Chains A and B, each alone.
Chain A
Amino acid sequence: MHELSIAYSLVQLAVETAEQNHLKKVEALRLKLGVFSGVVKEALEFSFDIATEGTIIEGARLIIDEIPLKIYCPQCEKEYVLKKPVPVKCPKCSIGTDQILEGKEIELYELVGG
């Protein structure tokens, strides 16, 4: 389980950003989590509370937006969002592709300050 390490990195990034923006308190953090990020949502939520202890973001809510896999199909020359992460194939022409556009991110994209 590496979610605790990820949670500490997340908290560190959030604290730095909050300080740079002179936020006295942080109500919520919004995180984009790709289905192929290798991170388990529930484990991260659990770890988050531990990692925030004693920091200025203690008590903040972690809002996780799960990002599905978005691929580019070289055959159709189009982008598709896959309903399920596997198989990594074009839903139209069933061709497999290595071109993943979204779905691997662990991205902090918003802080809601008080």
Chain B
Amino acid sequence: MSQAIEQPRIVKIRENVLKKNDILARELRKRFQEKQVYVVNIVSSPGSGKTTLLTEVLARLSQKFNVAALVGDLATENDAHRLEQSGAKVKQITTGTVCHLEAQMIEDSIKNWDLNQLDFLFIENVGNLVCPSSYDLGENLRVVLFSTTEGEDKPEKYPTIVNSADIAILTKIDLLEAVDFNKESFYQSIYQSRPNMKVFEVSAKKDMGIDQWIDFLIEEKMKAFKKMEV
């Protein structure tokens, strides 16, 4: 009696490995949309000025809007303390060893929040130009920050995050000359990965370009929820 030879079975799947994150992000996006909360996910390498810029933006926006921030960090709560100076609602997400934020962390953080009382939510991602690119957090706008002190070719080194972002901000523009920053090659380096990307140039310390950035955010928020205001 010959034994039947079992053929290897092939199971077709076609599923996104980050499906769980994507589903949750989609749910979050729907909730934010219903409550008309405009959500901005900010990514950059460590030290490029996310917290400094955000402190300024929170302070100015909170004069007219209800704003809040979630801030991701590996270990400390220093950034949250700095952001709290703006007067806005701030919550720290300490990720431990995780190098990015995931939709689940956002969901857990806003669990007890009344989203009706909120107009803008800023999410300061963990300082990292690689990992956050794979994780949708349910945001309306993903912003990638580069600073003049990092050198003009940084976007070229991290094409994936640039391509995954909607908007880029060049920070510490006041130091442009001091660090001999070549703006033309910076823009070229951005357009390599994301043609026609809109770029803002700001300095939070010297108050340059901040108002334009805020005006843009308000405009985008209006556009995002226009259809709902009938």
A interface residues with partner B (beta carbon < 8 Å): 1-2, 5-6, 9-10, 13, 17-18, 21, 23, 27, 31, 36-39, 85-89, 95-98, 100, 104-114
Contacts and interface: CB of A to CB of B under 8 A. Distances in A.
A37 B214 CA distance: 30
Contact of A85 (B15, B159, B164): B159
B63 interface: no
A97 B195 contact: yes
Interface of B: 6, 8-21, 98-100, 102, 130-131, 133-134, 156, 159-161, 163-164, 191-196
B192 A87 contact: yes
A2 B131 contact: yes
Contacts of A31: 17
Contact of A38 (B11, B164, B193, B196): B164
Given A18-B11, A36-B159, A109-B15, 17 more contacts: A1-B131, A2-B99, A13-B13, A17-B13, A23-B11, A38-B160, A86-B156, A86-B192, A87-B192, A95-B195, A96-B191, A96-B195, A105-B16, A106-B18, A107-B14, A112-B10, A112-B11
13 contacts: A6-B17, A13-B15, A13-B19, A21-B11, A87-B191, A87-B195, A97-B195, A98-B194, A106-B134, A107-B16, A108-B17, A112-B9, A114-B8
A17 B11 contact: yes
Contacts of A17: 11, 13, 15
A97 to B, nearest CB: 6
Say what secondary structure dominates the interface of chain B. Answer: mixed
B132 to A, nearest CB: 8
Contact of B134 (A13, A37, A113): A37
Contacts of A1: 99, 130-131
B194 A107 contact: no
Contacts of A107: 14-17
Contacts of A104: 164
A100 B18 CA distance: 19
Given A21-B9, A114-B8, A6 B194 contact: no
B194 A88 contact: yes
A109 B10 CA distance: 10
B193 A5 contact: no
A113 B133 CA distance: 32
Given A2-B130, A9-B18, A27-B8, A111 B13 contact: yes
A112 B14 contact: no
B137 to A, nearest CB: 14
